[in-house]
Structure 1
Amino acid sequence: MAPKVEAKPKCKISASRKLSLKILLLARATEELEAEKAAREEAKVEYLGEKLPPLQLTGLNEDDLQKLCRQIHEKIEVVDEERYDCEAKVFKNNRDIHQLNLKVQDLGGKFKKPALRKVRVSADEMMKALFGSKNKGSMDLRSNLKSVKKEDIKQEKELTLEVGDWRKNVEAMSGMKGRKKMFDA
């Protein structure tokens, strides 16, 4: 025997009834939103009434007014410090959220950075990698270095000895003769 498949019964509520229920639900939701807004405003007024009582300025002399101003300034400083602390917390939390979002994106992505390893490559292998098979001869980097001969070193020492003492050079250049030598050179 094949099992019976029961057909799903159609909704017995008419379209006009559905529409009227939807309108009633929306009206109820708007009423609740307005009541919530009024409750928030009432809580705000109550909080400000606690923190900031109404000022009594009539009948105060100058000293009392100055004291009152100092008290108000102290309260402002306390509130400003609290505001700064809250802003710093919000900024830190936003930065942390942003970093965590980046981490989630990195983890969710398909690309994964491979771990790099140190590889020792000789000069010949590096040249082959750079230029391919075009460079057939091996490249000996030491052969390209400049060689210094001992004769060059001896010549440099002789030149420094010829210059000699700097005082003699200054004495030779002193007076009009020295100036004439400078112009002649």
Structure 2
Amino acid sequence: MRIYLCAKELCRKLHQQIDAVDDQRYDMETKVAKSNKEIDDLKIKVQDLKGKFKKPVLKKVRMSADAMLQALLGSKHKVSLDLRANLKQVKKEVKEEEKEAVGDWRKNIEDKAGMDGRKKMFESEA
């Protein structure tokens, strides 16, 4: 009878340990499922951000050729490059014909009035 009671208690202990392990397994499965769902959500957010990413507007930086070469090559290399030294100077010519073509439209209104004026207008264009 004693053996029977010991076996019964042993079985109860084993069942309690199995229940505890089963509870832990269930808790870990739910944690893993929750983590997997969060990972999937974050992957979707990353994909959305990649598609909608706006490139930032770059600032214009004025830098001389010497400063640019010094920045690229470092302060060890002393290179002087004057890009404007070999350029030709060009003077801008103002066309006088264009200024004469633009005039006051009211000056010629009397000349173009009537059939004679229209005839003159078509003859001068042709």
Q: Could you state the TM-score of these two structures normalised by the residue count of structure 1?
A: 0.27
**Greater per-residue helix proportion:** 1
TM-score of the two chains, using structure 2 as the length reference: 0.39
